[in-house]
């Protein structure tokens, strides 16, 4: 049974993503999923560049240029493999499945292994379906600000909406166009209780990895292995 913000967010985050909810490794309502929608982010889309600028007036590429490139991606799909490292376990949990994104804000994560589950974010609603237990849960994002913030770490990035992204995070960019890393530090106090930082890696307009660092030391890493059929 899926209960509370933690478990729904966990699904997006670690699948068993962005999971773990499928097998509900944890169900603490105070701790939000550390990367609750991180998984979906993997689709979209040197020296550190600070949040307020994209490298200066003469820079050829930077944060704002990255956001523009990401905003041009209207649809993407692929396969994911996610590993969740928990302090209470000797080995990481592994989940896999497919992801899809359609502009301006529909995200779908379909976990195939080890157990079937689906998470869809569309507009202001997040819907989770546990295929193994035939259960369906719905969240209205505005009623859960911390989960909303986690959703926007994905949706605002894929949409190239830097202004909305900065509403929830301090945003920093490292690297260059062919190999970059976006660092998101939560601004919301409740979110900071469980999420230390979200790190998105990619090349050009493609996000190829999502790492979520939790304040308690747990972390998840998701990578894309190719286009979904």
Question: Strands across the sheet with 135-140, in order?
Answer: 135-140, 125-130, 117-122, 106-113, 93-102, 75-85, 219-226, 206-214, 195-203, 179-186, 169-176
| pTM, 2 dp | 0.76
More confident residue, 157 or 14: 157
Alpha carbon distance 30, 217 (integer Å): 16
72: preceding bond cis by omega (within 30 degrees): no
pLDDT digits over 168-211, tens only? 999 999 999 999 999 999 999 989 998 999 999 999 998 889 89
User: Does 1.20.970.10 match the CATH number of domain 4-226?
Assistant: no
The domain segmentation of the chain, as residue ranges, is 4-226
pLDDT digits over 54-113, tens only? 444 445 899 999 999 999 999 988 899 999 999 999 999 999 999 898 998 898 999 999
Tokens of 92: 């990481």
pLDDT digits over 20-36, tens only? 333 333 333 233 333 34
Alpha carbon distance 62, 67 (integer Å): 9
């Amino acid at each position: 049974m899926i209960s509370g913000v933690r478990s729904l967010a966990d699904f997006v985050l670690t699948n068993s993503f962005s999971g773990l909810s499928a097998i509900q490794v944890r169900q603490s309502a105070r701790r939000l999923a550390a990367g609750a929608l991180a998984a979906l982010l993997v689709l979209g889309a040197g020296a550190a560049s600070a949040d307020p600028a994209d490298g200066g007036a003469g820079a050829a590429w930077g944060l704002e240029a990255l956001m523009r490139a990401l905003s041009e991606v209207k649809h993407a799909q692929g396969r994911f493999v996610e590993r969740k490292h928990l302090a209470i376990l000797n080995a990481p949990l592994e989940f896999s499945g497919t992801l899809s994104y359609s502009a301006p804000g529909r995200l779908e994560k379909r976990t195939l292994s080890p157990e079937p589950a689906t998470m869809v974010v569309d507009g202001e609603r997040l819907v989770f379906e546990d295929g193994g237990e035939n259960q369906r849960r719905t969240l209205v994002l505005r009623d859960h600000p911390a989960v909303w913030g986690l959703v926007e770490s994905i949706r605002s990035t894929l949409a190239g909406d830097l202004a909305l992204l900065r509403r929830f995070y301090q945003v920093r960019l490292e690297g260059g166009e062919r190999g970059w890393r976006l660092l998101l530090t939560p601004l919301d106090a409740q979110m900071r209780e469980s999420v230390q930082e979200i790190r998105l890696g990619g090349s050009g307009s493609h996000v190829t990895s999502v790492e979520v660092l939790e304040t308690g030391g747990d972390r998840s890493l998701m990578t894309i292995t190719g286009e979904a059929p």
